[in-house]
């Protein structure tokens, strides 16, 4: 069992100050609501007010922060579900965007709520209602109040898919006493890599093991069959490729390559999927191109189609046999390649992938992805060997899903009945 030692000064100070969050929360949330940054129908979930009834039986609660982290939970939930067919699963996250994307990709017997803000009264409402048998946290962001509330109630805690680079470790090490109290309360800690495992032990985690990344094991993204059929008809005869989760630096490279391809063969069509749909207006104005969010369909003369609707990567990866993964030509340092791998798209990427270094190294070792330069992207897109990359990447994704059961069994063994 995890260490339930007396809390240190930093943790006690945090708990003493956290009720202030509750006093300011309604005002802050309403301001965010006016700006469109909160869900108008569900924002009160962040005050701990449940939006759904609790199902009977064992309930396993999993929390992650961003879209990528939330989506990576799906494969792990599938493994937990296979091992315990009666369990129900609650995913919590904070961002409205993550809720929108996971809504179309929820595993069976799984539902989503927003995590309440980290203050005692909201957390008490949440925990009183949901009464989780187990609390699972993903990656690296912990909410101290929520973790400590679980410890106080005797709710078992697991940290999975943990990732912490040197910069993140240095930030946390400045308040090491707080993190020591948090990590010491976890019954199981599963790290993605040796560096993370070492950092977690230095910060006070006790039960640390290394199991790799969950992102490679995520199942294929869902798709609306009607939308897929409609697009297949509209794009018949076109030569498609997708630039996914792009930022300005990636778009400059992709657009230059598409210009060369279009000059050679106007059947080529670039599907441009910006990471932040809020940028779509600016991009559309600069390119004078059609936008998915406005209902426009690509025609035979369309060279660039702006796919700016949330949560449709499952559609584009099914349609396009080649995917350039964004964030890899600028300071973002990469995005997740495994969603493309699971759907059989050949993976190309730029040189800057530090946030997914291990993932891209694994793909490169298996000849399942290819790093390209800005100047070499056009030639890479024409390479007849790309289907082989796609097949090997899909094989890696399938194998990763098969390896989840041992960790899932360990985690389930922690849960209360």
Could you list the residue range(s) of the whole structural domain that residue 321 is in?
225-401
pLDDT in tens, 206-245: 989 999 889 999 999 999 999 999 999 999 999 999 999 9
For residue 409, tell me if it sits in a domain.
no
pLDDT of residue 272: 98
For residue 413, tell me if it sits in a domain.
no
Structurally, the chain folds into a number of domains equal to: 2
Question: Which of 266, 344, 255 shows the shortest CA–CA distance to 298?
Answer: 266
pLDDT in tens, 303-319: 999 999 988 999 999 99
Asked if 255 and 385 sit in the same domain, the reply is: yes
Q: Which residues are catalytic?
A: 69
Asked if 270 and 393 sit in the same domain, the reply is: yes
pLDDT in tens, 154-181: 999 999 999 999 999 999 999 999 999 9
Confidence of residue 88 (pLDDT cuts 50, 70, 90): very high
pLDDT in tens, 335-370: 999 999 999 999 999 999 998 988 999 999 999 999
Domain boundary (212, 233, 261) is at 212
Asked if 107 and 234 sit in the same domain, the reply is: no
Confidence of residue 74 (pLDDT cuts 50, 70, 90): very high
| pLDDT over 70, % of the chain | 99
Domain boundary (212, 245, 279) is at 212
pLDDT of residue 286: 92
Asked if 176 and 274 sit in the same domain, the reply is: no
Question: Which of 394, 359, 369, 2 shows the shortest CA–CA distance to 161?
Answer: 359
Q: What is the CA radius of gyration of the chain?
A: 22
What's the CATH number where 136 sits? 3.40.50.11720
For residue 416, tell me if it sits in a domain.
no
Confidence of residue 67 (pLDDT cuts 50, 70, 90): confident
What's the CATH number where 348 sits? 3.40.50.2000
For residue 218, tell me if it sits in a domain.
no
């Amino acid at each position: 069992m995890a260490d339930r030692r007396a809390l240190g000064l930093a943790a006690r100070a945090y708990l003493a100050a956290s009720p202030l969050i509750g006093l300011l929360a309604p005002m802050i949330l309403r301001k965010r609501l006016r700006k469109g940054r909160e869900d108008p129908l569900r924002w009160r979930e962040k005050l701990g007010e449940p939006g759904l009834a609790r199902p009977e039986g064992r309930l396993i609660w999993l929390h992650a922060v961003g879209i990528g982290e939330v989506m990576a939970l799906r494969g792990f939930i599938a493994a937990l579900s296979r091992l315990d067919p009666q369990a129900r699963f609650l995913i919590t996250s904070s961002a409205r965007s993550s809720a929108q994307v996971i809504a179309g990709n929820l595993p069976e017997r799984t539902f989503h709520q927003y995590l309440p803000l980290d203050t005692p009264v909201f957390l008490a409402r949440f925990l009183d209602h949901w009464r989780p048998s187990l609390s699972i946290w993903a990656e690296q962001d912990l909410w101290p109040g929520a973790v400590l509330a679980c410890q106080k109630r005797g709710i078992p805690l697991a940290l999975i898919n943990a990732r912490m680079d040197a910069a993140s470790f240095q930030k946390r090490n400045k308040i090491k006493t707080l993190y020591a109290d948090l990590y010491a309360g976890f019954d199981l800690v599963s790290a993605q890599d040796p560096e993370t495992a070492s950092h977690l032990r230095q910060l006070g985690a006790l039960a640390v093991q290394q199991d790799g990344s969950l992102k490679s094991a995520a199942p294929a993204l869902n798709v609306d069959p009607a939308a897929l059929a409609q697009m297949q008809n509209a794009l018949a005869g076109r030569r498609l490729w997708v630039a996914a989760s792009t930022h300005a630096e990636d778009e400059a490279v992709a657009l230059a390559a598409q210009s060369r391809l279009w000059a050679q063969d106007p059947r080529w069509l670039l599907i441009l999927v910006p990471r932040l749909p809020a940028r779509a207006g600016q991009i559309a104005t600069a390119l004078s191109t059609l936008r998915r969010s406005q209902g426009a369909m690509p025609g035979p003369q369309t060279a660039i189609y702006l796919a700016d609707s949330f949560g449709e990567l499952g559609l584009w990866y099914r349609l396009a046999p080649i995917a350039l993964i964004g964030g890899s030509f600028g300071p973002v340092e990469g995005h997740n390649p495994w969603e493309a791998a699971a759907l059989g798209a050949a993976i190309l990427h730029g040189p800057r992938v530090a946030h997914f270094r291990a993932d891209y190294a694994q793909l490169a070792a298996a000849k399942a992805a290819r790093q390209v330069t800005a100047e070499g992207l056009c030639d890479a897109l024409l390479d007849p060997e790309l289907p082989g990359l796609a097949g090997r990447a899909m094989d890696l994704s399938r194998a990763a899903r098969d390896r989840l059961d041992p960790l899932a069994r360990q985690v389930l063994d922690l849960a209360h009945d």
